[in-house]
Structure 1
Amino acid sequence: MGHFVTGIITTEADANEVASVIPFKYFHKINQGYVIFPLTDDLIDDRISPPLNFCFDEFTYLSKELSEMLLKASQDKYILYLETEYFGGEGCQSVIVYRNHEVVFGPAKSESGSISDALEFIGVSVDAGHHDAFQSVGLGSFRSSEELLDNA
């Protein structure tokens, strides 16, 4: 089974303000007061004017243009951008966190753990019965960004 999620995470309290800065309006509530804006490559292509400059070795879809939008939206709030790509237990994950117009965590890419570390950095706690912050916040509850968008 695969896990292919690209998205932006922030607090539920900050979601509408973030949505006013970025070109993605749909977000899905996850656990502990957070939301995820699910992204797909088609959605990114449709909402950000080309040409896109891909300057991060750690990411497939994070362009300089999207990163600049996230930097702008990060005043007084954490904004976490993530990508996962797993199939049959093999793959990797990438993450970066912005706050106050700066990168404050990452960019990081690993086989596992970097997203959980970033989630804990922004305040997600590991709930009893969960392996890590990734599971606690509910990111393991869906398999793809498309699944989240289809449920909108």
Structure 2
Amino acid sequence: MHAGPFEGLSKEQACPASLCVFAREVLRAEAAHPAGHFDVVHSHYWLSGQVGALARDRWGVPLVHSMHTMAKVKNEALAEGDTPEPLERVIGEEQVVEAADVLIANTDLEAKQTHQPVRRRAGSRRGRPPRCRHLGLPSVLARRAAARAP
């Protein structure tokens, strides 16, 4: 997928500037396949999680997000003189957690940190916390695959 530009912009500039192009390219790639081609959407960073939430809703499949160090956690542990992660990242991560069906953490600590700084709002659209898993295929996906098997 081409979702540049690839040079001349800082990370802070390039990521948000490329988000719409990336979303367009994901939807374009999907259009090249028959309906129901994708079983799951998997994202890693908060920006790809934003696009993943769009694809999840459009395709009617689960969104699995691998959560890495969250901005709130990083900001709480800043050393003197470090620059905090921007508010748009904090909000974006909360939105991805809200949209995710399953969160994957690489360690027990990441799993705890994922649920600690982000709490579901009482009136949220989904109304339930996502399951947080350590690496491995969630059972909901395994059941879906088994149901499709001949």
Q: Tell me whether the two structures share a fold, i.e. TM-score over 0.5.
A: no
* Between structures 1 and 2, the one with greater strand share: 1
* Between structures 1 and 2, the one with greater helix share: 2
User: Per chain length, whose mean CA-contact separation is higher, i.e. which structure has more relative contact order (CA < 8 Å, sep 6+)?
Assistant: 1
The normalised TM-score by structure 1 is 0.25
The normalised TM-score by structure 2 is 0.25
Larger Rg: 2
